[in-house]
Amino acid sequence: MHVSDSELTQLMANAQVIAAVGLTSNPQTDPYRVASYQQSQGYRVIAVNREGETVLGHPSVQHVHDIKEPVDIVEVAGNSRHVADVVQDAIRANAKVLWLDRGAYDPAAIAQAEQAGLKVVSNKRFDVEHRRLLAHKQM
């Protein structure tokens, strides 16, 4: 399950589309701040939530597999209750990476994701890792 800095750098550098599970339009939340950062770095961020709202200029979808373009990273912020369902959805959508932010953890779901061929990043914030590994290289 451990992803090296080199692998992490490649995963982030090669990604274009991020499905942000649980992202809402509330700018006071960490997931919103992370998604805003991702968007500022050129990623296409699509909110996956049940609200059907527009988030960061894009309509949200209810499931990862509802996204009509290839999904590179499925990101789950802070809630372990839904990780198993998200893994099923990520597999169905042929996603490449499951990114579990701090607080989102389910060992059985992680094992299932890895068995299905997804790379799993766990207990890391995307914006922190991107700044650490990539932001200085883009200048």
In a domain, 45, yes or no: yes
Confidence of residue 78 (pLDDT cuts 50, 70, 90): confident
Residues facing residue 119 across a β-bridge = 97
Range of the domain at 106: 5-132
In a domain, 122, yes or no: yes
Tell me the per-residue pLDDT of 109-137, one tens digit each, with 9 for 90 and over. 999 999 999 999 999 999 999 999 997 66
Tell me the per-residue pLDDT of 48-67, one tens digit each, with 9 for 90 and over. 998 888 999 999 999 999 99
Residue 77: its pLDDT value, please? 82
Domain count, the chain: 1
Show Cβ contacts of residue 125 under 8 Å, excluding neighbours closer than 6 positions: 30, 34, 101, 102
Give dist(CA 11, CA 113) in Å, integer: 16
* Residue 122: CATH number of its domain: 3.40.50.720
In a domain, 58, yes or no: yes
Tell me the per-residue pLDDT of 8-48, one tens digit each, with 9 for 90 and over. 999 999 999 999 999 999 999 999 999 999 999 999 999 99
Query: Structure pTM?
Result: 0.93
In a domain, 81, yes or no: yes
Tell whether the model's pLDDT for residue 1 goes beyond 70. no
